[in-house]
Structure formats: C-alpha cells, structure tokens
Chains A and B, each alone.
Chain A
Amino acid sequence: MTLIVEARQTLGEFNLDAGFTSEGGVTALFGRSGSGKTSLVRVIAGLSKPDQGRLMVDGDVLLDTENRIFVPKHRRRFGYVFQEGRLFPHLTVRQNLNYGRWFAGMSRQGDDFDRIVELLGIELLLERRPGKLSGGEKQRVAIGRALLAAPRLLLMDEPLAALDDQRKAEILPYLERLRDEMATPIVYVSHSVSEVARLADKVVMMKGGRVEAIGTPSEILGGQAFLSSDRRDAGAVLTGRVEAIDDAHRLATIRLSASEIVVPNAHVETGRSVRVHIPERDVMVATLRPEGLSALNILEGRIVSIEPDGEGMMRVRIRSGEDDLLARITALSVERLDLKLEKAVFAVIKTVALER
C-alpha cells in the first residue's frame, strides 16, 4: 500500500499545509491539539475538501484539486474511527458492526466477523444497544465497525482521547493486536507520546498546520524536533519480545537485543512483540554496577554521544547491544562521573517509570 497526501487549506485563522507518504503499517500523525492532525486526516477521509490537494492510494487518485477530482467519502473505502465512537443509537451492536459490511457488499456472516469480534473482545456485547456500553466498549465496537467495512486504509482520530487511563490501558493491547494481525494500514492521529511510542511504525510530527518532522518513533520521540516542542516525554523507544510473565508480582520481562527489561504486566501476552517507551528523564547513569538498589532494570552499555541540552543539562546516549537509551542528567553529574565517549556505563531504570 502506498498513500500519498498533500493538502493546503485555510480555516479561518488556521492554515493547513501538510503532506506525507506512507507505505503501510501504522503511520502516526502526532502533535499537540490544534496542530492540524485532525484537519489532515479529515481531508484523507473526504470529510473536508482542501483548497488545494492531492490524495493517492496505490495509484488510485481520490483527490486532485488541479484536475477537479474529488471522490466522495462513501466511495473511498476508508474506515474512520472517531474520538467519540459515533455508534448508531437505534441499532444493536451487531447491526452497528454489520452496517459497513452491508455497503461493502459482503455476506452478512463470515470468518471476518467472528475473527474481528474475537480480536476486539466484544462477543458478549453483540445484542446490546450502544447506550448501555461503557466508553471503552463503545470504542472497541467502533473500531470493529470500521474494520468490517473492509477498508483499504483505517483512519483513527484520537480513538483513546475521550477515555480515562484505565480504559486506554484496556484498549491499547487490542490496537497492538490489530496492528500485528490485520493487514490493513492505519493512520493514527494522537497527541499522546505513549500511544505513538507503542503503536506507530512511522511518525509524522505536526506543528501549526505543518509537518515538522517524519521518522521512526525512536527518531522522533528522541529527536531534536520533539525536544523543542515537548521535552517532558522525550525518550527512547525500544522494541522487544515478551519473554516471561510473572503473574505473582504482576511483571513482564521483555527481551531486547542484548539485555532484558522488566515492566509492569499490563495486558501483555508472552511471545508478542511490544514497544517500550523509556522517558529520558527517568534514566539514571552509573559507572559501577549498583548494588542494594530497588530499581529492577540495570542495563550495561557504552556511551555513544553526549550533547548539551540547555539549562545545565546533558543528554547521554547509551548503546546496549543494538538498542539506544537516552538519559537526561545534569552537566554536574557528567563532570563528576567523568563521562565521555565509549565509556562503559550502566543505565538504571525504575520499573515503575515504565507503567504503560
């Protein structure tokens, strides 16, 4: 799948002038509220028409203002998951799920239906009406409804923003399964670092209606562009596989390239590939292996870069195997520990800081 989008649109005071390409997987449109993420995804869906723009999916032109091409939303075959679910209140959950299937011209019951219902864990809700569902359940049904229309692209506009932390934690694993098990490419709009870190294959960072940077989650979330906008959540994004689950202590061990890391066990399954976002402010650096310490994660590595990070702070990049960790420490600590390139160090991370 190849998606190419470019759009210019003036909406009152706000100017949207953005574009990106995607080759499948999960592309996150990331940025603060008001950065133009939703405007851009609405252009892709055909919910709004830009002043100038172009949209192509696999060579199929869906929008081209120069040649006056505008394929209406119901002929684009894009699924759209809205922030507020938007389930039809007069239909049951099953009818909601079947709504898009009907227009996609498929048989009413099939493998897909059972598979997606099972994937989203909504088997027991089928005969209920949307008014009787919780926020998290509604959103899972909304995702299922969009998927069952057999879209060639799934657009998700802050699908978790209206939910509390507990509901988010409940849905995120379903989204990870979705990414890993369905072939449908996804454009995921979010302002949340943790969602983007966990789900995205590619991040398009937006600011003031423009694209500021495009890259992998670790490039963007640990990169300069992100630092200038929101340094609080900056950090490394590591990919690993769940190796063991300790139910007694509610912990999960994730194998990285050269080491392993222990995280709180929040809805993970053994063998599944997961991403861990490690905020750089939560990483300590030690020159000797610490002992008698509560922190569970002590990763051995060597320093590959030290950069000044303003206000007496330094960013230290520590390579452990093939994974790069970022640590934000004071310049004083760098001086006192005599940190320099190629020096062997230990990165210390509290498991509590990795609550997902």
Chain B
Amino acid sequence: MDWLHLSDEEWTAIRLSLWVSGIAMVVSLPFGIWVAYLLARGGFWGKSILNGIVHLPLILPPVVTGFILLVLFGRRGVIGAFLDQYFGIVFSFRWTGAALACGIMGFPLLVRSIRLSIEAVDRKLEEAAGTLGASPTWVFMTVTLPLILPGIIAGMILSFAKAMGEFGATITFVSNIPGETQTLSAAIYTFTQVPGGDAGAMRLTLVAIIISFAALLASEFMAHIVGKRVNVE
C-alpha cells in the first residue's frame, strides 16, 4: 500500500485546491446573490446582455476565458494594473489569480441555481412581510433569503465543484507553479507529462473522487435539512 502514500508536494496541491475553491466560492457568493436577484427581479435595459455575460464562461473554451483574464487582470492589463497600483492586489501567477479564474468559471452555475430559487419564491409572502412593517431590505433578509437557502447551498456546491475541476482557464491565466498556483487538476496533468508519474496521478485522482463525493453528500445533507424547514407547505 506504499503507493497510496501522498508526498508533501501532492498534499500542497490538495490543500491549495481546497483553499482556492473555497475562497472562490465564498467571495463570489454575495455577487452571485446580487446578480441572481437582478436577473430574477430586475426590469432594466440590458438585462439579457448581463445574462449573456454571466453565462459566457460556461460557453467559451476555458482557455479563452483564461486568456481574457490574462489580458484584463494581468499586471499590464487594464484592471490588473489599476488594482496593483491602488490596492496592491496582484492576480497574475498568484493563488489569488487561480481563485479569480475558479470563481469566474463557477459563477454561471452559482447564479443560475440562485436565480431559479428566487423565481420560485412566492412574492405574496414578501408582500405580507411589507404590510407587517418590514422595509424591502428586511423583507429580503428575513423572508426571501431563508426561502432561497436551498438554492444558495446547491449553487455554492456546484461552484465549488466547478472550481475543484477547473483547469484550462487557471493554467492559461496563472500557469502551473507548485505551491502557488498548482491545483489538484494541474498536478495530475503534470504527473501525466513525466515518465513514471502514473502512480502519482492515480493517487491524486482518488483524492479528487473522494473530495467530489464528500461535497455531493454534504450538499444533499444540507439541502435535506433546509428543505425540511422550508418546503413544509
């Protein structure tokens, strides 16, 4: 069973992958809820354009998304230079860049799931909350948000899973630097490129399967608990 023993580098790749995916999921969540709300409820000019832009990473080849990120968020990119100069945030060839790429790639799945659950909320309940003295913000916090929680959890798991599996955009944008930007997928890819790397690739593949399965079970479990509370009527 010696071949199952994970090396330090492999552990680093696993930890980095979990960290990057987790950060991507958490940071994109507020934006995801906001955009989903706009798309579900908003009546504004350019709504279909916003919808198109949000879904773009789903349709474009990941390499293209990665390249666009490189152009925009690279050190000399329009946004990247600005963020570097005023906030000291650097994306290129850092784990933050990997998280950005993962967040962008998972965003359409996150938004879609939350949007569907917002559209399913009975607006009559929100109206009732309004007549009881709740301002629109409070209505959202106390009625809408709890009711869409199952959709939010499903979206978070989907975006996390997408981030764990993300490869093309990440490697194009921030390359494949061990310890900084080498995620699980990139590490497996690296193993397959060197002679005798099959065992390492197999070990990491097993790890990837375990993580994905755990995420799936966790989402089922949470959806069950929340669903029991929300869908009683």
Chain A bound to chain B: yes
- Contact A80/B133 with A88-B143, A89-B233, A90-B230 known, Cβ cut-off 8 Å: no
- Tally the A-B contacts, defined by beta carbons under 8 Å: 68
Nearest residue in A to B147 (C-beta to C-beta)? A90
* Interface set, chain A 43-95, CB cutoff 8 A to B: 45-47, 72-75, 77-80, 82, 84, 86, 88-90
Say yes or no: is A240 at the interface (Cβ < 8 Å to chain B). no
Residue count of chain B within 8 Å CB distance of chain A: 23
- CB of B125 within 8 A of CB of A86, answer yes
Q: Is there contact, CB below 8 Å, between A103 and B131? A: no
Report the Cα distance A130→B125, complex, angstroms: 13
Q: Which residues of B contact A79 (CB under 8 A)?
A: 131-132
| Interface membership of B217, Cβ < 8 A | no
Query: Given the complex of chains A and B, what is the CA–CA distance between A103 and B133 in angstroms?
Result: 6
Task: Give the CA-CA distance A104 to B131 in the complex, in Å.
Answer: 11
Residue of B nearest to A133 (CB): B233
Could you list 29 examples of A-B contacts with CB < 8 Å? Answer: A45-B131, A46-B131, A47-B131, A73-B131, A74-B131, A74-B136, A74-B139, A79-B131, A79-B132, A82-B128, A84-B124, A86-B124, A86-B125, A86-B128, A88-B128, A88-B143, A89-B125, A90-B147, A90-B229, A99-B132, A99-B142, A103-B133, A103-B134, A103-B138, A129-B232, A130-B232, A132-B232, A146-B131, A149-B133
Q: Nearest 4 A-B pairs (CB), nearest first? A: A131-B232, A103-B133, A100-B132, A80-B131
Question: Is B127 in contact with chain A by the CB < 8 A criterion?
Answer: yes
Asked if B129 is at the interface (CB within 8 A of a chain A CB), the reply is: yes
CB distance from A60 to the nearest CB of B (A): 16
A79 to B133, CA, bound (A): 9
User: Contact residues of A with B, CB < 8 Å?
Assistant: 45-47, 72-75, 77-80, 82, 84, 86, 88-90, 99-100, 103-104, 129-132, 145-146, 149
- In the complex, what's the smallest C-beta–C-beta distance from B152 to chain A, in angstroms? 13
What would 9 more interface pairs be, CB under 8 Å, given A103-B133, A103-B134? Answer: A45-B131, A80-B128, A80-B131, A88-B143, A89-B125, A90-B146, A104-B133, A129-B232, A145-B132
Taken together as a complex, chains A and B put the C-alpha atoms of A258 and B27 apart, in Å, by 78
Distance in angstroms from B185 CB to nearest chain A CB is: 38
B178 in the interface, Cβ–Cβ < 8 Å?
no
CA distance A100 to B231 in the complex (A): 22
A145 CA / B130 CA spacing, docked (Å): 13
Assuming the contacts A88-B143, A130-B233, asked whether A149 and B125 have C-beta atoms less than 8 A apart, the reply is: no
CB-defined contacts of A82 to chain B, threshold 8 Å? 124, 128
Chain A residues positioned under 8 Å from B130 (CB to CB): 47, 72-74
Is B132 within 8 A of A146, CB to CB?
yes
B135 at interface (Cβ–Cβ under 8 A)?
A: yes
Query: Is the CB–CB distance between A100 and B124 below 8 Å?
Result: no
Give bound CA distance, A90 to B143, whole Å: 8
Check A103–B146 contact: CB distance below 8 A.
no
Contacting pair B230 A89 (CB below 8 A) = yes
B132 touches A103 (CB 8 A): yes
A99 to B125, CA, bound (A): 12
Query: Which residues between 176 and 203 of chain B lie within 8 Å of chain A, taking CB atoms?
Result: none
Measured between beta carbons, the chain B residues less than 8 angstroms from A99 are: 129, 132, 134, 142
Residues of chain B within 8 A of A100, CB atoms compared: 132-133
Residues on the B chain within 8 Å of A149, using CB: 132-133
Give CA–CA (A77, B133) in the complex, Å.
7
Is the pair A88, B131 in contact by a Cβ cutoff of 8 Å? no
Interface-centre pick from A46, A90, A99, A146 (highest chain B CB count, 10 A): A90
